[in-house]
Amino acid sequence: MTGAAGFVGRRVVADLVSAGWAVRAVVRACPGHEAPAGAVWVPMGDLASLEATAWARSLADVEAVVHLAGRAHVMNDAAADALSEYRRTNVGVTQVLAGAAGVAGVRRFIYMSSVKAVAESSGVSILADDASPHPEDAYGRSKREAEEWLFDQAAANGLSITVLRPPLVYGPGVRANFARLVRWAARGTPFPFGAVANRRSLVFVGNLSDAVRFSIDAPALDGKACFATDDDDLSTADLIGRISLALGRQAFLFPVPEWMLRGGLSLVGRSAEADRLLGSLALSMRHFPDAGWRPPFSLDQGLTATVREIAH
């Protein structure tokens, strides 16, 4: 498994070990703590610099590859050629690893993509797994290119491919904007989103990890690209309300017209943040339920676990 030291990767390693898998957890460098019993750290350095032959030893006798590593989405990426930077890791590493996995006789390849490979917004509709992809930024395009390459090359490499496309992932250990939102709610900060009626899908890290575990032994998901969510969409106002409830507090929400919020955020150079706070990105899972998987944790259970870790 690549990306084993990341926010999602740490949870997936622990859950796979609990499910009885022996895990080779690929990391850039060994963390300052021991791997869970049943897993072993495999330090590989910069994955983007590796050739196929460098993977041979790590892939020996491996039944499945879970590929989580990649260049993460960066807001307002200032790289001179952002698409090339994303392609170098998100496409290049995937190609080399999948090619080496096919040579090594690996049977299953689980690729962690992103909803951004499909769209940034669902508008007034709900996006299903088979929605036509229209990525809008360099990160989304790189993820979509990696997906296309995997599906095109699956037969040639002898691999069974499943792609997961999560929306925003939250859970204990989450950082950035989600953690900030929890801290603001914990302080009783007033929020001007009382009139926002958008719909957004989220996924708790425990649900995403379970979806990865399920995918390894799910022939019905071969050749599928699947949304993985909590199956419980909510508005920004609803999210703040449920975070506050998990904190044992009353949410302080007051209504401000959406056009005013959007205009104010745009004036301070935060248009992308306005889209996330005010726009809709609602997803409908079809492939996972058809294959027999449902998220084991409710959204409220996930929020409670997340809030406890951040607020204490």
Window from 106-115, 150-159, 199-208, 211-220 with minimum mean pLDDT: 150-159
Q: Which DSSP state fits 33?
A: S
The answer to whether position 1 is within a domain reads no
Predicted local distance difference test score (pLDDT) of residue 256: 85
Does 68 lie in the same domain as 78?
yes
The answer to whether position 263 is within a domain reads yes
CA–CA separation, 235 and 42 (whole Å):
41
Higher pLDDT, 214 or 262: 214
In terms of Cβ atoms closer than 10 Å to its own Cβ (0-12, 13-18, 19+), residue 238 is buried
Average pLDDT over residues 265-273: 72
pLDDT at 262 over 80: no
Does 29 lie in the same domain as 53?
yes
Q: CATH no. for residue 117? A: 3.40.50.720
Nearest by Cα to 197 from 133, 285, 261 = 261
Does 133 lie in the same domain as 220?
yes
pLDDT at 278 over 90: no
Catalytic residue among 86, 111, 139, 170: 139
The answer to whether position 2 is within a domain reads no
The answer to whether position 18 is within a domain reads yes
Outline where 28-167 has alpha helix (H). 56-59, 82-86, 92-104, 138-157
pLDDT at 74 over 70: no
* Confidence class for position 261, pLDDT limits 50, 70, 90: confident
Domains contained in the chain, number:
2
Give the H/E segment covering residue 43.
Answer: strand 39-43
What is the CB neighbour count within 10 angstroms for residue 86?
27
Average pLDDT over residues 33-52: 86
111 belongs to the catalytic site: no
pLDDT at 106 over 70: yes
Does 81 lie in the same domain as 198?
no
Average pLDDT over residues 105-117: 95
* Confidence class for position 60, pLDDT limits 50, 70, 90: very high
Does 265 lie in the same domain as 166?
no
Average pLDDT over residues 126-136: 92
Average pLDDT over residues 81-94: 88
DSSP string, 150-171: HHHHHHHHT-EEEEEE--EEES
CA–CA separation, 268 and 81 (whole Å):
24
Q: CATH no. for residue 311? A: 3.90.25.10
Higher pLDDT, 263 or 214: 214
The answer to whether position 147 is within a domain reads yes
Give the H/E segment covering residue 127.
Answer: strand 127-128
Does 101 lie in the same domain as 180?
no
Does 127 lie in the same domain as 24?
yes
The answer to whether position 56 is within a domain reads yes
Does 269 lie in the same domain as 121?
no
Bridge partner list, 213 = none
CA–CA separation, 232 and 300 (whole Å):
10
The answer to whether position 17 is within a domain reads yes
Average pLDDT over residues 3-31: 92
Predicted local distance difference test score (pLDDT) of residue 126: 92
Domain residues for the domain of 161 are 7-170+203-230+284-289
Looking at every residue in the chain, the average pLDDT score rounds to 89
pLDDT at 270 over 80: no
Does 105 lie in the same domain as 59?
yes
Does 33 lie in the same domain as 158?
yes
Q: Per-residue pLDDT tens for 161-177?
A: 999 999 999 999 888 88
* Confidence class for position 36, pLDDT limits 50, 70, 90: confident
In terms of Cβ atoms closer than 10 Å to its own Cβ (0-12, 13-18, 19+), residue 299 is buried
Predicted local distance difference test score (pLDDT) of residue 145: 95
What is the CB neighbour count within 10 angstroms for residue 294?
12
Query: Is the distance from CB of 98 to CB of 109 less than 8 angstroms?
Result: yes
Average pLDDT over residues 229-233: 94
Query: Is the distance from CB of 62 to CB of 26 less than 8 angstroms?
Result: no
Predicted local distance difference test score (pLDDT) of residue 175: 84
Sequence-distant (≥ 6) Cβ neighbours of residue 275 within 8 angstroms = 120, 121
Does 179 lie in the same domain as 165?
no
Does 218 lie in the same domain as 116?
yes
Tell me the one-letter amino acid at 206: G
Query: Is the distance from CB of 203 to CB of 103 less than 8 angstroms?
Result: no
What share of the chain in percent tops pLDDT 90? 60
